């Protein structure tokens, strides 16, 4: 463990901090970035998550393992060490930096006599805190209920708080657990139906954008997607230096020199071990990425775990069926990259085609990205030159609704027009000309 870094952050915590005190429990396994890279603090990310969730981490208990213990997550001896450490610092909660099973959570709770929160529950709590829209609130509530459903024997007290008076509606002879199962099943069904309706509305909205060129920003949480959206479109969007500050998709029109609308959407950030229930619940929100014509994968170039971040995002993109999309890799936060990281960044740029190093904060490198995206967008457009008789000014007016007319001249023998079309519109226009007898029919 990078103990010096951890201890430094602990010392920086104000003594009068009145947040709940947490102790981290982590099984450090071979695939962990701190093992593969060396020098990386193994609890840096869970500490950032805890801080975002309003917890104060004061200590960490780690154990190197090849795999988690099926019953206790770590060995019994390490649990006793955890109990002593929690008592020493006056902890209120144990944070486990992995998704754990109900049995593992129950055994840790019985040993420490403290509330146990695993990584999935912590991330969902952060999502619940940051949910602003009606859709996001439904999505996170559904994810939480699905998570709790398999953990009712340990977590039914959470449900009693969530349900309020509904817990008292159980019938004669039902146990508390049976009642909770019935209530949670009913609520899951209701929320799923609501999300189906939301998704239908979203699909209708997406159909209205079919002529547009749609770009979605994806990336690890806090990689700078919202800053990039603001840099490219000038949009007034929330920008905060904390994890999962954006849950709702923000879509803005981007003024590029093409004869169709370009729409840029910021999506929810990804993270390692993103709970499956969250990915499933945010299906409608992630539709923006699935239906995009182009993905901009925003990467924090200053991250010490940059390759792990990229891998985590790619894995999630695969889960939502976006792994075959045309994607540009945008290595952001160039202004924060240390000199020692520059060589590694150059290797990554060489390894990934269609990649750029930029700073969305100060604009460095942004013009090259815009130029490249403009070139991609222009591939969708078609050009044509036409001459219409003066008597068919109605067709000239129609052309202006179907395309961008770049040149129009009134000649002695007719009206000359040069136009740019978005994909598919040129064929539609020329069909109208054939029907008017102004173009020869297509030979069979």
Q: What is the pLDDT of residues 340-361, one digit of tens each?
A: 899 999 999 999 989 999 999 9
pLDDT, position 442: 65
Mean pLDDT, residues 215-236 taken together: 90
pLDDT (average), residues 309-330 = 90
Question: What residue ranges of the chain are covered by domains with CATH 3.40.50.11060?
Answer: 3-123
Residue 204 has a pLDDT of: 67
Q: What is the pLDDT of residue 284?
A: 63
Residues 260-266 have a mean pLDDT of 89
Compute φ and ψ for 136, nearest 5 degrees.
-65, -40
Alpha-carbon span 106 to 61, nearest angstrom = 18
| Residue 246 confidence (pLDDT) | 61
pLDDT at position 232, please? 93
Q: Decide: 280 and 143 in contact? Cβ < 8 Å.
A: yes
Lowest mean pLDDT among 13-17, 107-111, 248-252: 13-17
Q: How confident is the model at residue 279 (pLDDT cuts 50, 70, 90)?
A: confident
State yes or no: pLDDT of 115 exceeds 90: yes
Domain with CATH 3.40.50.300 in the chain: 210-378
Q: pTM for the full model?
A: 0.76
Greater confidence, 76 or 277?
76
Q: Which of the pair, 130 or 338, is modelled with greater confidence? A: 338
User: What is the DSSP code (8-state) at residue 256?
Assistant: -
Q: What is the mean pLDDT of residues 272-295?
A: 79
**What are the distances in angstroms from CA 244 to CA 53, 72, 100?**
11, 30, 22
- In this prediction, residues 281-310 reach a mean pLDDT of 87
Residue 144 in this model has a pLDDT that exceeds 80: yes
List Cβ neighbours of 32 (8 Å cut-off, separation of 6 or more). Answer: 42
Query: Class assignment of domain 3-123?
Result: alpha beta
Segment 227-250 shows an average pLDDT of: 74
Q: What gap in Å lies between CA 435 and CA 442, rounded to an integer?
A: 11
**25 — pLDDT class (breaks 50, 70, 90):** very high
Q: Is the pLDDT of residue 35 over 50?
A: yes
Is residue 158 predicted with pLDDT exceeding 70? no
State the pLDDT at residue 107: 94
Has residue 100 got a pLDDT over 50? yes
- Give percent of the chain above pLDDT 90: 45
Q: What pairing do the DSSP bridges indicate for beta strands 93-96 and 20-28?
A: parallel
> For position 117, what pLDDT does the model report?
94
More confident residue, 73 or 3: 73
pLDDT of residue 300: 96
pLDDT of residue 174: 53
What pLDDT does 14 receive? 55
Fold of 210-378: Rossmann fold (3.40.50)
Q: Parallel, antiparallel, or unpaired for β 404-411 and 414-421?
A: antiparallel
pLDDT of residue 134: 82
Residue 4 reports pLDDT greater than 70 = no
Average pLDDT, the chain: 84
**Whether the predicted pLDDT of 120 surpasses 80:** yes
Higher pLDDT, 181 or 206: 181
Show the DSSP H helices in 304-390 as ranges: 306-319, 342-351, 366-378
């Amino acid at each position: 463990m990078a103990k010096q870094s951890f201890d430094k952050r602990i010392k920086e915590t104000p003594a009068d901090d009145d947040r709940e005190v947490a102790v981290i429990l982590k099984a450090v396994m071979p695939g962990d970035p701190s093992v593969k890279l060396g020098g990386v603090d193994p609890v840096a990310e869970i500490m950032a998550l805890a801080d975002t969730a309003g917890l104060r981490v004061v200590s960490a208990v780690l154990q190197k393992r090849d795999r988690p213990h099926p019953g206790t997550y770590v060995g019994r001896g390490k649990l006793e060490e955890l109990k002593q450490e929690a008592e020493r610092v006056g902890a209120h909660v144990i944070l486990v930096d992995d998704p754990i099973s109900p049995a593992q959570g129950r055994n840790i709770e019985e040993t420490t006599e403290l509330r146990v929160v695993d990584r999935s529950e912590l991330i969902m709590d952060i999502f619940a805190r940051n949910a602003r829209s009606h859709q996001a609130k439904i999505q996170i509530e559904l994810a939480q209920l699905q998570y709790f459903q398999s953990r009712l024997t340990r977590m039914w007290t959470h449900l009693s708080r969530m349900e309020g008076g509904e817990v008292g509606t159980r019938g004669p002879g039902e146990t508390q657990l049976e009642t909770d199962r019935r209530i949670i099943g009913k609520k899951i069904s209701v929320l799923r139906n609501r999300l189906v309706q939301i998704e239908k509305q979203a699909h209708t909205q997406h159909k209205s954008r079919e002529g547009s060129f749609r770009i979605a920003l994806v990336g690890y949480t806090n990689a700078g997607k919202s800053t990039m959206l603001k840099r490219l479109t000038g949009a007034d969007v929330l920008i905060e230096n904390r994890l999962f500050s954006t849950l709702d998709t923000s879509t803005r029109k981007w003024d590029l020199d093409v004869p169709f609308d370009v729409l840029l959407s910021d999506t929810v950030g990804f993270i390692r071990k993103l709970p499956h229930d969250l990915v499933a619940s945010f299906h409608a929100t992630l539709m923006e990425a699935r239906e995009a014509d182009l993905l901009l994968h925003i990467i924090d170039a200053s991250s010490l775990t940059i390759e792990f971040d990229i891998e985590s995002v790619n894995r999630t993109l695969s889960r939502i069926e976006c792994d075959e999309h045309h994607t540009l890799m945008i290595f952001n936060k160039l202004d924060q990259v240390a000199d020692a990281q520059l060589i590694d960044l150059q290797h990554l740029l060489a390894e990934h085609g269609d990649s750029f190093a930029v700073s969305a904060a100060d604009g460095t490198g942004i013009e090259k990205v815009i130029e490249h995206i403009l070139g991609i967008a222009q591939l969708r457009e078609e050009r044509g030159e036409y001459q219409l008789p003066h008597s068919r000014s109605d067709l000239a007016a129609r052309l202006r609704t179907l395309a961008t007319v770049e040149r129009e001249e009134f000649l002695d023998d007719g009206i000359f027009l040069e136009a740019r079309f978005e994909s598919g519109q040129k064929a539609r226009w020329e069909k109208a000309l054939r029907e008017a007898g102004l173009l020869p029919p297509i030979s069979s």
